[in-house]
Structure 1
């Protein structure tokens, strides 16, 4: 039996700004120790959702609860110590050293400064801790921002575009750190435009479009909701496909292409792997980026497909 509690609960939450609906009747439950990916183009409602959970703004209607409390109420002040937040394009006082910045935020948060040195080490800044922030690269500032978010061992971590400015190795290190936090029971909400590579680190994805919930679930759930095919690419000389697969085949720059319904992929593999002349077979299951594009297109119409793909890649 799963007895983990809900850390975040949104029930029929709406947020309106001067008559414009930024969030439309959103229902969301996030369990303890879960990593939720929150995805959507600019203006989709991601930042509004984060601000509601942080208690920085109140809902126009509906109910928001974090650790069972309304985060906007003064009694919920103690909630802040359980939260960690890394905003996009983080900025700090340039004249302070990295260590001084971290110690300053530790005082603000009411936590011990003893952890600051170990946090700098965890994010790979131990050698730069005594240098002024103005000498830091964008990636170093981002890592300092992550260290700030981890002060006080938060139980809920909200990360907005956390890997901006990080090189591939630093990005992998970052996600390894998230995995450790998850194992320790920390709940993580991760917003990102950089979709490739994210899917293996999240338990669930939530896709927003123009304030509306477009899709929600695990990657496998979303694959079944979208009904996108698995794509097989076959390379080899004089390949002869069985008739029932030949009807589905087309040729592209990567060889013979077959789009197979997900439920038939194992049968297709068994039948195709023994083909005479087959030299190589690649199988592509719908990725998070494919699914994101599908749900956004379905909501907005195919005319926005190019913009969606460009935004997802930014």
Structure 2
């Protein structure tokens, strides 16, 4: 599989203050990777280094096989970027804005006109001045310019900011379509619940350093966080059936039993609980969320999320 991005021991120092330190990872073709960290953790600096907007103090950044995005027109045309705060000339219409960026990327007219519909902007809105746009509409216009030319790499910084829930879902549907076609997506966001079911991999940064990197299941195993199991026995079942093991079940007023189970014991406990399906009326299994995993790794670094 081809690496779209390769970072090796990348650091950036401003006036003796490190913004990012010794960060290494690769992103492969068609991956959707979440870049997670609190404000000031180094996410935006990392994205700027990948874009070639800043030069690392140490280490190397390679994008699509080249050392620098900024100095290579061919690579720049293959990269789409949506900053956290989009800003366009307020007197221009949405169509004029997109036409301007299309000319910069040398994207033919017939390759971008349908982007308004794709990002949820009507054709009538496309012909209105940007000053009349809401925050969400400007965000959608920013996404449209990032998608110009079907880029091989998408760098998205808080891309769903200002979007309502329905548009957030359509945004991710669109991004996943690009991913299926081979586009690599690096997505930085604080909306962890949105990323949980969509990102194949999570990179967590804190105080300029990478502190975790892997799939959510891998990070759960490393964190050793418990799984919450809740079930309701049938009227004919004896509660003592589950009370004699190592897991201490808490009986709630609604007659549900619940416990936090160590990940190493989870399969054995589930096997015991479900051995007689007739003894259960309902069951819920709650795995540690990305929020839980993120908080765990930050606490390990002595930082509150």
When normalised by structure 1's length, the TM-score is: 0.89
Q: Show the 5 A alignment for 1:107-146.
A: 107-127=103-123, 128-146=125-143
Partner of 2:147: 150
Give the unaligned 5+ runs of structure 2.
Answer: none
Query: Aligned partners of 1:285, 1:16: CA distance in 2, in Å?
Result: 39
Partner of 1:80: 76
Query: Aligned partners of 1:229, 1:17: CA distance in 2, in Å?
Result: 40
- Runs of 4+ with deviation above 3 angstroms: 235-241, 243-247, 250-256, 273-279
Q: Show the 5 A alignment for 1:212-251.
A: 212-235=209-232, 239-245=239-245, 247-250=247-250
Structure 1 stretch 255-264 or stretch 127-136: which is displaced more?
A: 255-264
- Asked if 1:294 corresponds to 2:296, the answer is yes
Query: Aligned partners of 2:143, 2:253: CA distance in 1, in Å?
Result: 42
Structure 1 stretch 39-48 or stretch 246-255: which is displaced more?
A: 246-255
Give the unaligned 5+ runs of structure 1.
Answer: 309-314
Equivalent residue for 1:91, pick from 60, 82, 87: 87
Query: Aligned partners of 1:102, 1:253: CA distance in 2, in Å?
Result: 59
Q: Kindly indicate whether the alpha-carbon contact (under 8 Å) linking 1:35 and 1:190 is maintained by their aligned counterparts in 2.
A: yes
- Alpha-carbon distance change, 130 to 218 in structure 1, aligned in 2, over 3 angstroms: same
Count of aligned pairs? 299
Equivalent residue for 1:54, pick from 34, 37, 51: 51
Query: Aligned partners of 1:7, 1:178: CA distance in 2, in Å?
Result: 17
Equivalent residue for 1:12, pick from 6, 9, 27: 9
Larger fraction in helix: 1
- Alpha-carbon distance change, 133 to 233 in structure 1, aligned in 2, over 3 angstroms: same
**How far apart are 1:257 and its partner, in Å?**
2.5
- The superposition leaves residues 22-74 of structure 1 with CA deviations (integer Å, 9 ceiling, x where unpaired) of 11111111111111110000111110110000000011011111111111663
Structure 1 stretch 292-301 or stretch 216-225: which is displaced more?
A: 292-301
Q: Kindly indicate whether the alpha-carbon contact (under 8 Å) linking 2:69 and 2:75 is maintained by their aligned counterparts in 1.
A: no
Partner of 1:270: 271
Q: Show the 5 A alignment for 1:58-73.
A: 58-71=55-68
Two-structure CA RMSD over aligned residues (Å): 2.0
Query: Aligned partners of 1:63, 1:28: CA distance in 2, in Å?
Result: 11
Q: Kindly indicate whether the alpha-carbon contact (under 8 Å) linking 2:30 and 2:184 is maintained by their aligned counterparts in 1.
A: yes
